[in-house]
Amino acid sequence: MGRGRIGRYTERVRGELHDAFREDFTPRELSGSFAIGAFITMLPTFGIGLVAFVAIGYVFGWVSKLALFASVLVFNPAVKWGVYAASFALGTILLGPVEGVSAAGVSFSAGPDIVVRLLVGNLILAVLATILSYVVVYRFARRYQSTAVAETIDETLEEIAETTLDSDSESG
């Protein structure tokens, strides 16, 4: 990926999260929504994850659909292949190597030993990504909302000052 492409991708993720932050959700709801999305997206759901997103968004009113779906931008299909490779490597470290199989020859059709290593590693990475996602988005949301509150207070004070000054100049 070129620098320009990464920059556009980063701006897209930032834009989606910015839109989610402007919704009427608390930082915990936003970060929880993104973290749930990160967990589901990290797992090998083969498209069923999107169905889970719709169901979660429909059933739970506290879930920010924008934050939930923003996680797909971070853990997109291109990134997931790297996640799967790291998952298999982690599973192999934890459970030991599979005889006669190299990292280049990994596929679901290669056998249950490989699938188990892939899923164990993937589950661990998904949990780590979920925790990290929650913390990062929570901090961003808190910072964003405190900045938004400060800007709203400033705007309100300016309006009060203008109104007060206008009424004083009219009466004086």
Q: Mean of the per-residue pLDDT values for the chain?
A: 79
Lowest mean pLDDT among 5-14, 79-88, 123-132, 136-145: 5-14
In a domain, residue 126? The reply is no
pLDDT at position 93 is 92
Task: Count CA within 13 A, CB hemisphere, residue 33.
Answer: 29
Does any domain span residue 105? no
- Tokens 């164990």 belong to 120
pLDDT of residue 157: 61
**Short-list 49, 29, 30, CA closest to 40:** 49
Report pLDDT for 17: 66
Q: Which two tokens stand for residue 140?
A: 């961003």
Q: Identify the domain containing residue 29 by its residue range.
A: 3-82+131-171
Give the mean model confidence (pLDDT) for residues 162-169.
62
pLDDT in tens, 71-126: 888 877 778 888 888 998 899 899 988 776 665 655 555 678 888 988 999 999 99
Residue 14: what pLDDT?
A: 66
Cα dihedral sign for 118, 82, 28, 57? negative
When mean pLDDT is compared over 4-8, 115-119, 146-150, the highest value belongs to: 115-119
Highest mean pLDDT among 35-39, 144-148, 159-163: 35-39
Q: Could you tell me if residue 155 is inside a domain? A: yes
Residue 100 placed within a domain: no
Q: Is residue 94 part of a domain?
A: no
- Residue 111 in any domain: the answer is no
- Alpha-carbon span 15 to 35, nearest angstrom: 17
Q: pLDDT tens digit string along 156-165?
A: 666 666 666 6
Residue 62 lies in a domain: yes
Q: Is the pLDDT of residue 55 over 70?
A: yes
Tell me, what's the pLDDT at 74? Answer: 81
Name the domain count of the chain.
1
Determine, yes or no, domain membership for 139: yes
Question: How large is the average pLDDT for residues 144-167?
Answer: 66
pTM of the model: 0.70
